[in-house]
Structure 1
Amino acid sequence: MLKLLTTLLFLSSAAILMAQFPTQGPGGFGTNNGLNVQRPGQTAQDSIQEEVKRDTFGVYRFFAKNPFQEKIFADTLLNDYLYQHDPARQRQWDYMHLGISGSAAQPIVYQPTLRRGFHLGWHQYDLYLKSADDIPFYRHESAFTNVGYNQLGDQNNSFFTLQFSRNFGKGFNASIDYQRLSQRGTTTLFTQQSLRNTTLGLNFWFKGQSGRYNAYLTLVNNKLERQENGGLVSETLTLEGNLATPAQAEVFSESGRSRYQHEEAQFTQYFQLNRLSKRDTSSQDSLPLVAVAGKQIYQVAHSVSFQKIFSRYNDNEDLTLLGTYYRNFNTDPRGIRNFVGHQKIENQFRLLTYRSQGPLVGRVRQEGGLLELGLVHAYHRIELEAKDSSLNEVFATGRWDLQPIPLLDLHLNAKLGLLGNIGDYQASGAIDFKLGKLGHLTGKATNQLYSPSLIQREFWVTQTRVWNNDFKKTLETNLEAALNIERFQVEVGAAYHLINNLIYFDTTGYTRQSGKPVSILQFFVKKNFVLWRIHLDNQVILQKSSEDIVRLPQYFGKHSLYFEGKMFKVLNARIGVDVRYQAAYRADYYMPLIGQFQLQDKRMVDFYPAADVFAAFQITKFRAFFKLENITRFIYPQNQLFYQTSYYPMPPSSGFRLGIRWLFLD
């Protein structure tokens, strides 16, 4: 009863509020990363103009695979993601992890994974890994440094981020993208729960004096190290019935360790075939030549990359003590070990044409009518416990961005396997239809056929093959739509997913393929209110799977009640409380040996409205926040922990967090 009253009390506050506040943007199922905030009743152009006016310092970002789109780098205002230090919460719909930031994670709300060609099959670290395609380049006049530091409840638990970019001489730019997330606390974490995630990306951009040649070099290194305890066997209790210190809790393994390393080097170059440019005299550090607006541009592009992945898990504890935990994976009494190495060399050639929009005006530039045709060849070298292998694959690719009428934007993409993964394909499309004063409609559709990943086909433990499967290819169709209704100041959306030949991990941790099609239906609504400077932001999603092999909470919600305004005439502030919750269900279990979330039938993850109190402040380009996480534990019985993943609770103590972020321009 106390759980229900707590949630109803918070939600009922919506009845006294009468107006709107910005959401995280249109399209309820994608991620936004805080780059495109828009009010439900506000046009995209109004949102752009407002954001530029409030947060302009002359830095724009883009990516080497898509330099035709630039967005303003706006990161000095108070936003939803400043005090959400956990990467699992820096998105529209949260991910569930193993109780601490930086641990293995998967979406709470079902989201399709786009596939192209050979894949190892691990996705538990997708939140933390960065490939060469994920490291942004920056265009600017003055050098800038953006630094962030979060203290996560213990001096050994921290999250440090750094972005730096500078122009060096004519036509050369270098930038750094670095982050380190450490969870090493001995008093705040459960036994054998430490981790450290480190990512370093280096970018080098050369701009030819003629304006017809651009080259981009990216070097990136990801290193993830962690101790793996397999979760709690039981919640050790004191005589009073309360949870003892986390270090006293009994865990499945006290010697499991994993390491995942992903290194990549990528060189991409573009050469413009026609001379349709003029000199830009607005800045010495901007592009020396820019295309004339409205002219058709023809380019050829080439990209070559080298990728190296290393993954290892080992547990050297006496297996006579762990036999019931590893069960059928006990292939050697001396210990558990799994090793995988993967090297890939990829070449991609593209021919493309687009209509230039000229210099960037406002917040976003998207070149018009982009048409692109490409061919990709990849060579893979795979190293397993007892054998090595290699394969080649070739894919044809295509892309078309068009605007048939001024109110309609279409984006089409296609990939077709020609060698190695012959028969694999992926076709996707996105639409943005502006409905005038009514609002706008967005939609996405994807259809893809992809081969089983490496771990789905075969898996080795201590030089013994545990399984060797001959699965069929998976056919997946995804449809999503969202409607922003200006008249009612609300955003609603729905999604439908249909998966044939779904491959999953059963309660034993083994791979299985479903003989039945699996469908997932989702509905969401976002509605936000404001009265004076008091805001209430709300979003709720409902979802249902047709088969029990895909287990999702039937509902998930997030609500934020806060004050936002100026204090002492110069200090922008946001002070309030966040609440998140999900329906009770049999959540998946994470098995660290296979690096997968698998089905389990022994434990329920209960309904638990987790509440956080926060205060965020901003002066010019300096921001700071203070936060107390999971204050619900002071209301609920002290022996009830907050779970998102079965057997992996959130640590019950040291929920205090603080952080700063500072932008320097030179």
Structure 2
Amino acid sequence: MNCIKRIAAAIIIWAATANLAQAQIIDDSTKAIYGSATTLIIREADIFKGNLTPVRIDTALTNLQSIRHWYYDSSLYQDLGNIGTASQPLFWRMPTVLGARLGRNAFDRYAVNTATVEFYDTKSPHTFLNYVQGGLGESIFRTKHTRNIGPNWNVGIGYERLGSERQFGQVDPSDNALVSHYGLQAFTHYFSKNDRYRIMAIYAHTSHDHIESGGVQPKPGQSPKELLSLTGQPVWLSTAVTDEKRTSIRATQWYKLIGPGLQLYHTVDAFDQANKFTDVDLKGKKDSIVFYPRALLDTALTQDNALYWQVENTFGLMGSTKYFVYRAYAKRRDGEYRLRARGANYVPTRGINDSLTGVYIGGTNRTIKDNFIGGEAQFRLRNDIYVTTNAEFMLGEGDYLINAQARYKFLTVRQTRASYSPTLTQQLVQSNHFAWNNDFENITSNQTAAVLESQIRNHFLSGQVQFTNLRNYVYYQDSLNGDWAQPAQVSGNTDLLQVSFRHRMQLKFFVLDNTVFYNAVGGNEVIRMPEWYVLSKAYVQTPMFKSAIFVQAGVEMNWHSSYFADGYMPVTQQFHLQNSFNVTRYPTLDLFLNTDIKNLNIFLKLSHVNNVVNSWEPGYYTTPNYIANPFSFLFGLKWNFYD
């Protein structure tokens, strides 16, 4: 981990000095020309909506210090208490993908979503650097370089690293790594001079290694709260590791037949994900296996592999006018889901090159051949007055998604009905610790939502009410009936009420930004969310030194009510119900200072500062048996170069 820090620091220094040296060659008049106003972005979704006008890159200072804005998904998540750990959305979401889905999403927020990435149009070469370093070993490094080959062709590359270190358990100072992640991207955007043909393409690869501990292990009669104030707490697992690799290639092409009103398009989306779980010492110092519910194939070690790959081809017609946008398509998905588990009768054999290989038993495959048709239409009088409908149907199966949405100025209403298949992981697993082959029915969902937004002078108000009725919901069980962390389906209804309200007020230099979430579950209570969640920020912002810099300084608080948060099973990378560990209410306070100096944004942050107050509780849990990071000092920067 120290080596990674040194490499990241060296790259930052090299990039900065290289760009500064380049900048010295360029005269002051050229410097004034290039900047964020000449570095524009556009997304695939913009093209589908008929919007071909790129927008400026985001250089805003707000939320620079917020940890959830360091990832590709800035939503609220439940994690294992540290950067890069397994996580799931804190509030329930409706799936938007029909048909086959792998269902191993614990590391989604750290991986690039190739369907939503930004493509660039730059007047000068653009380099972006993002670096975060924390006192507990937290580190994030991202860099991206993009430039236009010509006025209508842009290319770019990106690289990222993310890491964290263990903060509880028997930690070896020489090897205390918890998470090691890296990612690579290459992307291009080209359109013909007459604008009849356009292509957006991206390649992305990520690797995510996660040391699994199973959480802290209380002694008999010891409460979880007692473990918060101890050091070197015992953990359930000491030799378990999860390794996940993802590769994605996506390219969308458009061709105008008769202007923007009639276009052909094609999207190819190839994706593979490999998950490997290994534990080379199941018993540890015990006479029998610990933590795991059982050992089906080998009582000494576990080596489980799950591989999923798919190739989607979408062919469609689309068009846009001043007031109307439409799209119709047919989609084909081919793929395979493969499971392999090393068993007790794993037999070493010698191959052609006299090297040891192995015979795996207990493997199984499932072939995927899904076909869909779908479409979307929008009547748009203005950006804040429109009606949108979209639908997708899986041919020969019961999966479908129908959505209608209308907006009139400050009010948006939406109605969604869906029937979707359980994930492949919920249907089929074969490992050393779990084995199931389920024939679940489709899950049906009816959702009604309304959003109200308004700006009244210096007050911004936003409220949302969302009601969802679920039937035949599939979840991962608790340990009450002996099927711990295994999927089950309920036949009755599960009702979800999700409400949020945000108020942002600015009085001269002072800003107060509060968001409150309320959640209620009725019927079959197989979905767990905190009933209340409060996110609050108070800060002052002002220019300083004759407007040479812009500063934000304040405090941020996160608080949720007590609830039986889902536990985590590392073997299958799934969160599951549990009814014995109450994750209690606890506020976290962060002090921050954000600074904008021309093209450089810097933040300083005292994270979980209330942890250093002796009269306060010694810490808190984010997930049963997983302790959140204690107090930490973090430093970060975002640096844009335009030459």
Q: What TM-score results when the alignment is normalised by the length of structure 1?
A: 0.80
Answering whether residue 559 of structure 2 is matched by residue 581 of structure 1, we say: yes
Supply the distance in 1 between the matched residues of 2:434 and 2:324 (Cα, whole angstroms). Answer: 51
Answering whether residue 473 of structure 2 is matched by residue 502 of structure 1, we say: yes
Answering whether residue 413 of structure 2 is matched by residue 443 of structure 1, we say: yes
Q: What residue in structure 2 maps to residue 535 of structure 1?
A: 511
Q: What residue in structure 1 maps to residue 488 of structure 2?
A: 512
Q: Identify which of 617, 626, 638 aligns with 1:661.
A: 638
Kindly provide the CA deviation profile for residues 474-503 of structure 1, in whole angstroms up to 9, marking residues without a partner as x: 001222212124458533221111111000
Supply the distance in 1 between the matched residues of 2:578 and 2:263 (Cα, whole angstroms). Answer: 52
For the Cα contact (< 8 Å) 1:88–1:94, is it kept in 2? no
Deviation at 1:410, TM superposition (A): 2.1
Q: Which moved more, 1:604-613 or 1:641-650?
A: 641-650
Counterpart amino acid of 1:659?
A: G
Supply the distance in 2 between the matched residues of 1:489 and 1:601 (Cα, whole angstroms). Answer: 39
Structure 1 residue ranges without an equivalent (≥5):
1-54, 277-295, 357-367, 435-439
Deviation at 1:595, TM superposition (A): 0.6
Supply the distance in 2 between the matched residues of 1:486 and 1:577 (Cα, whole angstroms). Answer: 24
Structure 2 residue ranges without an equivalent (≥5):
1-34, 341-362, 479-483
Deviation at 1:326, TM superposition (A): 0.5
- The within-5 A match list for 1:70-149 is 70=53, 72-80=55-63, 82-87=64-69, 93-149=75-131
Counterpart amino acid of 1:460?
A: Q
For the Cα contact (< 8 Å) 1:88–1:95, is it kept in 2? no
Supply the distance in 1 between the matched residues of 2:227 and 2:379 (Cα, whole angstroms). Answer: 61
Deviation at 1:560, TM superposition (A): 0.7
Q: What residue in structure 2 maps to residue 615 of structure 1?
A: 593
For the Cα contact (< 8 Å) 2:127–2:143, is it kept in 1? yes
Q: Identify which of 316, 320, 338 aligns with 1:350.
A: 316
Kindly provide the CA deviation profile for residues 242-274 of structure 1, in whole angstroms up to 9, marking residues without a partner as x: 85675x111110011011111122232111112
SS at match of 1:211: coil
Q: What residue in structure 2 maps to residue 374 of structure 1?
A: 329
Supply the distance in 2 between the matched residues of 1:394 and 1:574 (Cα, whole angstroms). Answer: 51
For the Cα contact (< 8 Å) 2:543–2:549, is it kept in 1? yes
Alpha-carbon RMSD across the aligned residues, in angstroms, is 2.6
Supply the distance in 1 between the matched residues of 2:113 and 2:99 (Cα, whole angstroms). Answer: 16
Answering whether residue 42 of structure 2 is matched by residue 62 of structure 1, we say: yes
Alpha-carbon distance change, 183 to 496 in structure 1, aligned in 2, over 3 angstroms: same
Alpha-carbon distance change, 407 to 342 in structure 1, aligned in 2, over 3 angstroms: closer
Kindly provide the CA deviation profile for residues 374-394 of structure 1, in whole angstroms up to 9, marking residues without a partner as x: 000111122112122312111
- The within-5 A match list for 1:193-232 is 194-232=178-216
For the Cα contact (< 8 Å) 2:170–2:234, is it kept in 1? no
For the Cα contact (< 8 Å) 1:330–1:336, is it kept in 2? no
Supply the distance in 2 between the matched residues of 1:256 and 1:373 (Cα, whole angstroms). Answer: 47
Q: What residue in structure 2 maps to residue 393 of structure 1?
A: 370
Answering whether residue 478 of structure 2 is matched by residue 478 of structure 1, we say: no
For the Cα contact (< 8 Å) 1:89–1:95, is it kept in 2? no
Q: What residue in structure 1 maps to residue 263 of structure 2?
A: 299
Deviation at 1:641, TM superposition (A): 1.9
For the Cα contact (< 8 Å) 2:228–2:627, is it kept in 1? no
SS at match of 2:109: coil
Counterpart amino acid of 2:44?
A: A
Q: Which moved more, 1:541-550 or 1:656-665?
A: 541-550
Alpha-carbon distance change, 112 to 251 in structure 1, aligned in 2, over 3 angstroms: same
Supply the distance in 2 between the matched residues of 1:616 and 1:660 (Cα, whole angstroms). Answer: 9
Alpha-carbon distance change, 86 to 541 in structure 1, aligned in 2, over 3 angstroms: closer
Deviation at 1:111, TM superposition (A): 2.4
Supply the distance in 2 between the matched residues of 1:217 and 1:189 (Cα, whole angstroms). Answer: 46
Supply the distance in 2 between the matched residues of 1:475 and 1:555 (Cα, whole angstroms). Answer: 26
Supply the distance in 2 between the matched residues of 1:470 and 1:621 (Cα, whole angstroms). Answer: 56
Count of residue pairs the alignment pairs up: 566
SS at match of 1:392: strand
SS at match of 1:233: coil
Alpha-carbon distance change, 561 to 56 in structure 1, aligned in 2, over 3 angstroms: same
Counterpart amino acid of 1:102?
A: G
Kindly provide the CA deviation profile for residues 104-125 of structure 1, in whole angstroms up to 9, marking residues without a partner as x: 1112222222122201111212
Higher relative contact order (CA 8 A, sep 6+): 1
Supply the distance in 2 between the matched residues of 1:199 and 1:401 (Cα, whole angstroms). Answer: 36
Counterpart amino acid of 2:324?
A: G
Q: What residue in structure 2 maps to residue 595 of structure 1?
A: 573
Deviation at 1:629, TM superposition (A): 0.6
Supply the distance in 2 between the matched residues of 1:58 and 1:458 (Cα, whole angstroms). Answer: 50
Alpha-carbon distance change, 132 to 93 in structure 1, aligned in 2, over 3 angstroms: closer
Kindly provide the CA deviation profile for residues 7-30 of structure 1, in whole angstroms up to 9, marking residues without a partner as x: xxxxxxxxxxxxxxxxxxxxxxxx
Deviation at 1:581, TM superposition (A): 0.3
Q: Identify which of 132, 145, 153 aligns with 1:172.
A: 153
Answering whether residue 612 of structure 2 is matched by residue 634 of structure 1, we say: yes
Q: Identify which of 521, 528, 531 aligns with 1:554.
A: 531
Q: What TM-score results when the alignment is normalised by the length of structure 2?
A: 0.82
